[in-house]
Amino acid sequence: MGASGAGRWDLGARQWPPPSALASAYEAELKEMEGQSREEYIGSLRRMQSEAPISDYCVLQFDLEDSETKNIAIGHSISYDDISLGGHLWGINCYPRGDREEEKGEYFSLFLYLIGDSKGKGVNVIFHVFCLEREGEASAFSSFSDDKRLAKVFSSKCPEYPEGHRSHGWHKFMKRSVLESFFIVNGRVTLICTIMVLGAGTIPVPPSNISSDLGCLLKSNVGTDVSFILKGKMIQAHRAVLAARSPVFKAQLFGNMADATASSITLQDMEPATFEAMLAFMYTDEMPEDNELGGSPTQMVQHLLAAADRYALDRLKLMCARKLWDIISMDTFASTLACAYMHSCAELKSKCIGFFAVENNFKKIVFTAGFIWLVQEFPDLADELKETIGI
């Protein structure tokens, strides 16, 4: 229903090495694989397979017809459930209008599930998903906001799943508005799904917990040696951690600046909540959850992106850009584009301009109060937008 052309890519001959590690070992490799062509991506998989305990893998391409999925009911899925891999049978469920009523059909949901019994043993799997972009080559992967990765253990012992059906994936894989704006090519959306089944390591090594340990260190205030004052609130931190994470803090706290010897530093132009969120990232390498942002998520993330730009935290800056792109709307377009422009985030700026160029979008955006403000405050940006739509 709505799916056409589903099938495996030609992966060539495969030789399977003995197992020795778990899925968490491959996050860096998967990150490097973003933005690669089909040939480069398959080459990377083969390299990983030759060096790591991947017992089996496949790359599947799904073409979903937009005309058949646009009006599908919430909670109704398009399934592909005959994937034999690693000695198990797998399936993929795509929910074009989401799997939960509370999302009101605004999101595309996607899940990988294990069919049948895993013989009482956990199955370690990496599930990596891309959408092909409208502007890109047919063989190219996008590397910004449309890729998702998941490393999970599928087990018949998990009580939260019905017996014989265990799944992991994303309730909010992507907003439908984003999907329709950028990923419909010739009337269809193309998904590339990579499934890697890992061998069970003879000596399991737990994943690193350094981020949680450093997060606890920040919360405990043990060993802090510098304080920041923001609007009357004191926030304590560790000079060495800040210097290790940010070249700006390194120069400020260990260079020739006056702050190098100060035990307390006053910051006049940043909200305490923004600074705390930035510190949390510096210690844990993680973005705050939506419920931790408080107030307007869009405004908070914009402030956090500005802070990341100020202190040269490039990863945080792009994480904020991705978040802003994921939640962009007609009403937040102007402030998001202005934020990208002011803080030199070319990736987000390009996405925003592309969003505006879609006819159904710019016809609505130009009547928002935010757009009027944008034209007044950033006339050069307004000129660039006009050129984009040919006026």
| CATH number, domain with residue 100 | 2.60.210.10
**Is there a contact between 66 and 182 (Cβ–Cβ < 8 Å)?**
no
pLDDT of residue 88: 81
Assigned domain for 254 exists: no
Assigned domain for 351 exists: no
* Amino acid identity at 186: N
Q: Which residue do the tokens 């803080």 mark? A: 343
Assigned domain for 240 exists: no
- Our separate counts of H helices and E strands in the chain read 16, 13
Q: Rounded to whole angstroms, how far apart are CA atoms 157 and 289?
A: 29
Residue with more model confidence, 62 or 222 = 222
Q: What is the pLDDT of residues 133-176, one digit of tens each?
A: 765 443 333 333 344 555 555 554 444 444 444 778 888 888 88
Assigned domain for 106 exists: yes
Strands (E), 66-201: 78-85, 88-95, 107-115, 123-131, 148-154, 165-175, 184-185, 188-198
Q: Work out how many domains the chain is built from and give that number.
A: 1
* pLDDT for residue 203 is more than 90: no
Q: Rounded to whole angstroms, how far apart are CA atoms 331 and 369?
A: 8
Token representation of residue 184: 């419909």
Q: What are all long-range contacts of 298-302, with beta carbons under 8 Å and residues at least 24 apart?
A: 298/324, 298/327, 298/332, 298/335, 298/336, 299/335, 300/273, 300/274, 301/327, 302/335, 302/336, 302/339
Domain that holds residue 33: 3-198
Q: What is the pLDDT of residues 263-298, one digit of tens each?
A: 899 998 999 999 999 999 999 999 887 767 767 889
Q: What is the pLDDT of residues 297-353, one digit of tens each?
A: 899 999 999 999 999 999 999 999 999 998 899 999 999 999 999 999 999 999 999
Assigned domain for 11 exists: yes
Assigned domain for 384 exists: no
Q: Are strands 88-95 and 148-154 parallel, antiparallel or unpaired?
A: unpaired
pLDDT of residue 390: 78
Assigned domain for 353 exists: no
Q: Rounded to whole angstroms, how far apart are CA atoms 216 and 223?
A: 12
Phi–psi pair at 172, nearest 5 degrees: -120, 65
* pLDDT for residue 95 is more than 50: yes
Assigned domain for 121 exists: yes
pTM exceeding the 0.75 threshold for the entire prediction: no
Mean pLDDT of 172-188: 82
Burial label, 20 (beta-carbon count in 10 A; 0-12, 13-18, 19+)? middle
* Amino acid identity at 389: I
Read off the pLDDT band of 208 (50, 70, 90).
confident
* Amino acid identity at 287: M
% the chain with pLDDT above 70: 72
